[in-house]
Amino acid sequence: MKQLDPRLYQIGALSLLLLYGLTALDFDTTWFRAILVISAAIGFQWLCSKIWSVKFDPRSAAISGLSLALLLRSNSVLLLLAAAGIAISSKFAIRWRGKHIFNPTNLAIVALMIATPGVWVSPGQWGNVAFFGFLITCLGGLVVNRASRSDVTYAFMIAWSAVLIGRSLWLGEPLTIPLHRLENGALLLFTFFMISDPKTTPDSRAGRTLFAVLVALGARYVQFKMFHTNGILWSLAACSLLVPLIDVLLPGGRYTWKHNGGSSWSVSPQWRWLFAHGLLPRIRSVASTSQRATPESSIVRRRWRWSATATARS
């Protein structure tokens, strides 16, 4: 069975959300700006591929461009172009042992928020219909793409929910407050398309779980101690610096798109086991049964072998 590249599903989900947002939800951006940042991301991917002499692949760049179009806002077109440039070039320039450290979209947003007040993050208040529709799409993506990095998504969702609900219970707030904070489109984008990036998360499952918890705790400190908005974005950028250390302490297999849901043809281990231990013995049994000699068939085979030997000798 040919596996669907997870990036194709992500591109489809993000594209549908962007189209729905621009047509029905009145996103605070324009078609021109959205198309510009997506095109710029793909263009920078092509340029960096030429500079670093690697094969051009627009899929990851399209995801970064779509995420920037959904999350980043600015009145300056140049800042949007700069965001696309920072996001894509960071994948090539900031690496550790062949693995880029930062999620491209996250780094671009945080870097520009540090450098200039001319950018901000969309609040992601899309309404219940859009929110739950996109949630179902994201959950479906985990199933369709065999949940290659679902562990970090689930770990962060549990940890962040515990932080918000625990804080409200401690302060005596009604549970409607943390539930409202969880019903946020930007949070969904972060959870399913940013922190779960398989190229920037730790290699082992234990490492990814630890990483998700650290990001949730860091976001709590930024948001409720430092009183800064977008705590999860700041926390992810800071905790990404710990990924090389986590990989050393909790090593695991390196993720590659080709071997983890890429476009190559592959057969799942369950089907390989079924074929080797179930179907293959039956095929051999049927073949051996069909070759059991009857008196007539034995005479025919002996005559055929004798004639073939005689022909070969002559």
Lowest mean pLDDT among 112-121, 125-134, 171-180, 274-283: 274-283
Establish if 263 belongs to a structural domain.
no
Same domain for 212 and 293:
no
Same domain for 276 and 144:
no
Establish if 1 belongs to a structural domain.
no
Place of tokens 């947002």: 21
Number of domains in the chain: 2
User: Which pair of structure tokens corresponds to residue 233?
Assistant: 């974005």
Per-range mean pLDDT, top range of 187-191, 258-262, 269-273: 187-191
Q: Which of 238, 146, 228, 137 is nearest to 191 (CA)?
A: 137
Which phi and psi (to 5°) does residue 195 adopt? -70, -25
Give the model confidence (pLDDT) of 148-161 as tens digits. Answer: 668 888 899 999 99
What is the residue range of 183's domain? 6-249
Strand extents, DSSP E, 36-187: 72-74, 95-96, 99-100, 119-121
Establish if 211 belongs to a structural domain.
yes
Strand extents, DSSP E, the chain: 72-74, 95-96, 99-100, 119-121
The model carries a pTM of: 0.77
User: Which pair of structure tokens corresponds to residue 19?
Assistant: 């189209």
Same domain for 10 and 131:
yes
Q: Which of 60, 80, 85 is nearest to 70 (CA)?
A: 80
Q: Are residues 148 and 260 in contact, defined by beta-carbon separation less than 8 angstroms?
A: yes
Q: Are residues 241 and 101 in contact, defined by beta-carbon separation less than 8 angstroms?
A: yes
Same domain for 160 and 287:
no
Q: Would you say residue 307 has pLDDT above 70?
A: no
pLDDT band for position 192 (cuts 50, 70, 90): confident
Same domain for 300 and 153:
no
Same domain for 149 and 19:
yes
Same domain for 114 and 208:
yes
What is the per-residue pLDDT for 20?
A: 86
Same domain for 124 and 153:
yes
Other Cβ atoms less than 10 A from the Cβ of 290: the count is: 7
Establish if 114 belongs to a structural domain.
yes
Rounded Cα distance between 87 and 70, Å, is 14
